[in-house]
Amino acid sequence: MGFTMGLNLLLLLAMVATNILSLYHLSSNIQSKPPAPPPVPDHLIHQLSTIRATINHLTSLQPSTPPSKKIPSAAAAIAAPSDLLIYTHIAPIGSSCKDNPILLHQYMNYTPFSLCPNDAPIAEDLILRGCHPLPRRRCFSRTPFSPPASLPADPFSPLPEKTALLNHYNCKTFSCFAGLKPEMGFDMRVEKSRYLNYRTDLDLPISQLLQLAKSAKSVIRLGLDIGGGTGTFAAQMKLQNVTVVTTTMNLGAPYNEAVAIRGLVPLHAPLQQRLPVFDGAVDLVRCGHAVNRWIPVTSMEFLFFDVDRVLRGGGYLLLDHFFSKKMDLDKVYTPLIGRLGYKKVKWAVANKADASGVKNGEVYLTALLQKPLIRSTSK
Task: Give 82 or 241: the residue with its C-beta nearer to ligand NAG.
Answer: 241
Between strands 362-370 and 343-351, the pairing is antiparallel
Q: x/- binding map, residues 291-330, to ligand NAG, per CB under 6 A?
A: ----------------------------------------
Q: How far is the CB of 76 from ligand NAG (least distance, A)?
A: 55
User: Cα-flanking dihedrals φ and ψ of residue 217, to 5°?
Assistant: 55, 40
Q: How far is the CB of 168 from ligand NAG (least distance, A)?
A: 38
User: Cα-flanking dihedrals φ and ψ of residue 282, to 5°?
Assistant: -120, 160
**Alpha-helical segments (H) within 255-350:** 255-261, 297-310, 326-328, 334-338
Cα–Cα distance for residue pair 150/217, rounded to 1 Å: 37
Q: How far is the CB of 62 from ligand NAG (least distance, A)?
A: 56
Determine which residue in the list 31, 241, 376, 377 makes contact with ligand NAG, applying CB under 6 A.
Answer: 241
Task: Give 76 or 219: the residue with its C-beta nearer to ligand NAG.
Answer: 219
Contact 272, 91 (CB under 8 A): yes
Contact 292, 322 (CB under 8 A): yes
DSSP output for 297-311: HHHHHHHHHHHHHHE
Q: How far is the CB of 215 from ligand NAG (least distance, A)?
A: 17
Between strands 243-247 and 222-226, the pairing is parallel
| Chain residue at closest Cβ approach to ligand NAG | 241
By C-alpha distance, which of 208, 184, 188, 213 is closest to 196?
208
The footprint of ligand NAG on this chain (CB under 6 A) covers a number of residues equal to 2
Q: How far is the CB of 196 from ligand NAG (least distance, A)?
A: 13
211 part of the interface to ligand NAG, by CB under 6 A = no
Cα–Cα distance for residue pair 184/188, rounded to 1 Å: 11
146 part of the interface to ligand NAG, by CB under 6 A = no
Q: What is the CA radius of gyration of the chain?
A: 26
Task: Give 22 or 240: the residue with its C-beta nearer to ligand NAG.
Answer: 240
Task: Give 138 or 221: the residue with its C-beta nearer to ligand NAG.
Answer: 221
240 part of the interface to ligand NAG, by CB under 6 A = yes
Cα–Cα distance for residue pair 85/21, rounded to 1 Å: 32
By C-alpha distance, which of 147, 143, 144, 146 is closest to 116?
143
Q: How far is the CB of 210 from ligand NAG (least distance, A)?
A: 9
Task: Give 207 or 334: the residue with its C-beta nearer to ligand NAG.
Answer: 207
Q: How far is the CB of 242 from ligand NAG (least distance, A)?
A: 9
Q: Which residues bind ligand NAG (CB under 6 A)?
A: 240-241
